[in-house]
Amino acid sequence: MWANSLVVLLPLVVYVLARPSPDCEHKVKEQLGAPPRGWTIHGPAPADHSIQLRIALPQPNFGVLEEHLYAVSDPVHERYGQHLSKEEVEELVAPHPESVDAVTEWLASHGIQEESIGRSPAGDWFNIRVPVSVAEEMLNTKYHVWQHADGDFLVRTTAYSLPAVVFDHVELIQPTTMFGRFKALKSTIHSVHKANAPIPSANSPPIVDAATGVTVDASCNSTITVTCLKELYNAVGVTPSAHVGNSVGITGYLEQFANRADLQAFFEDQVPAAAAAKSTFKFISVNGGLDSQNASDAGVEANLDTQFAFGLTFPAASTFYSTAGEPPFIPDIGTPTDTNEPYAQWLDFVLSHPSPPLVISTSYGDDEQTVPESFAKRACAGFAQLGARGVTLTASSGDGGVGDGDPDPATQQCITNDGTNRTAFIPGFPASCPFITAVGGTFLVPETAVPFSGGGFSNFFARPSYQDAAVEGFLNKLPKGTFAGLFNPNGRAIPDVSAQSVNFRVFVAGEPNLVAGTSASSPAFAGFIGLLNDGRLKKGLPPLGFVNPLLYSKAASGFNDITTGNNPGCGTEGFNATKGWDAVTGLGTPNFGKLLKLVT
């Protein structure tokens, strides 16, 4: 068994243990060329403002973990499906003891003792809480309160340095240069409006999709329900089991609360068996996340995600994670609690658990360029750890087409944040992480690409090999010079797949609403992954885990190819949906019946 020889696979690296002192020479670790667009200095940061610093130690063997991840995720590899344990993953991402000692001594030199240091499960992140005055001394920098043109405030700096003796033992420290806005790390919901109390009856004959051969109720062109999704994606009559160990999870941020009463109303409306069973979800608080069940606090995003993901997969075990965090700083109300990029807190938490849900969806995202590249890559490495353990991660591709997250192409600025002020397409994160399955959007029956479907190419992550054939085929079909200089043709391409994204019937505060956005596509697609896992588990097979290599190879024929529509933005018409993979709908939408045969 490979695990027994794990130590043989790890490269031997020897560091000389350095003993830092607080007054030794500093070297610049990270520096912004210019303040990000829209941000100006409001004033100096209060010296006693409390800030939680997250210190990433290098993961010298991450490349080995990545090799294992691709081996267990490649359907033609002999180790396909042999996912790693929590302990095996932690061994592969653990920092060298020399790094741990060097950083611990550096912190001690600033009065931060062992008992005040929080550590991630693998010990590759240190967490400390210090006043701004101490952070400034440690990092040889100056923090300011920055204000965005839209009114948000952050405590950040544009550069920080580290003592030379710990420089190579630290990969990054945040919050420092991260100007991603919590409001920009938003639900990718595109629109919400009230729905009719009963599901409307379309006084028309059913729609027969000539391309897929499926028959869909005519009402699905105006209202999407669980039944519509099962009809569209060839899963009518599928009966999941409650006894095979299947599980589905939803992440919630920005004080978005999933309401149990609304879930019951949704079940009564669309999943009678779940209503009869009084099915509900397990709530897990992350970093102090709350679980308000007041009807007035019900979140459209949280309700959308839980209702459709759990409605599609009932009776699989369901979990809702509530991760604390909201706009972190209002300078006129004293010293508040500062916060970080929330994916980090959630990753620390979920990686500490031995049995996370087998598929987890997130419908939140940010412009890739608002997240420092070092942090985006480190968070992406965390997602890879979950994939290696057999977890499928899905994320919305965004609602700005090829643009900057603004759903109105007319008001998108699409200006780079690196000080050069170039016009460019703006990909989203975490969808751009190659270890996540990015889900774009479609609408109508027969399906066409929805104009707001986020798509394009990462500027941080290189195109993974599993995408090469599909994406090169798409790029070769583009007329020469199309969008020259506006995107990185060698970057990781998004989305991977798509699903319906308009007029989802969601209950909020007891009332039905119609919701649109790729925030609907991600939990819907996650639901079908959950159904595929159910089929595999019934046959004694392992869960799908990191699915992208499978989707682009053996399972590629299990998708409905979407060939119409485009995703305008940045003053352009964006990319066109076309035969094969495209940067609007990816490989297309799922045909569950075909996929089940391909994966079981």
Annotated binding site for Ca(2+): 561-562, 580, 582
Annotated binding site: 561-562, 580, 582
At 87, list the tokens: 């302990």
CA distance 368 to 458: 8
Nearest Cα to Cα of residue 368 among 323, 434, 321, 302 = 434
Q: Are 358 and 195 in contact (CB under 8 A)?
A: no
Give 274-277 contacts, CB < 8 A, sequence gap 24+.
274/310, 274/311, 274/314, 274/315, 277/314, 277/315
Give Cβ neighbours of residue 230 (< 8 Å, ≥ 6 apart): 236, 238, 312, 592
Cα 455 versus chain centre, distance: 15
CA atoms lying within 13 Å on the CB side of residue 252: 28
Please state the φ and ψ torsions of residue 338, each to the nearest 5 degrees.
Answer: -90, 160
CA distance 310 to 530: 9
CA distance 348 to 119: 9
Q: DSSP secondary-structure letter at 391?
A: -
Buried b (16+ CB within 10 A) or exposed e, 161-179: bbbebbbebbbbbbbbbbb
Q: Is 301 a catalytic residue?
A: yes
The β-bridge relationship of strands 359-362 and 247-252 is parallel
CB atoms within 10 A of CB 281: 18
In the block, which residue shows the tokens 């909020």? Answer: 508
In the block, which residue shows the tokens 């050069």? Answer: 420
**Which helix (H) or strand (E) element contains residue 64?**
helix 62-73
Q: Which of 318, 361, 432, 519 is catalytic?
A: 519
Residue 386, SS3?
helix
Q: Is 519 a catalytic residue?
A: yes
Q: Is 124 a catalytic residue?
A: no
Q: Are 437 and 393 in contact (CB under 8 A)?
A: yes
At 260, list the tokens: 């149990």
The β-bridge relationship of strands 125-131 and 50-56 is antiparallel
At 145, list the tokens: 């309160």
Q: Which of 124, 262, 301, 399 is catalytic?
A: 301
CA distance 140 to 110: 13
Give Cβ neighbours of residue 306 (< 8 Å, ≥ 6 apart): 250, 258, 263, 281, 318, 320, 523
Active-site residue set: 301, 305, 519
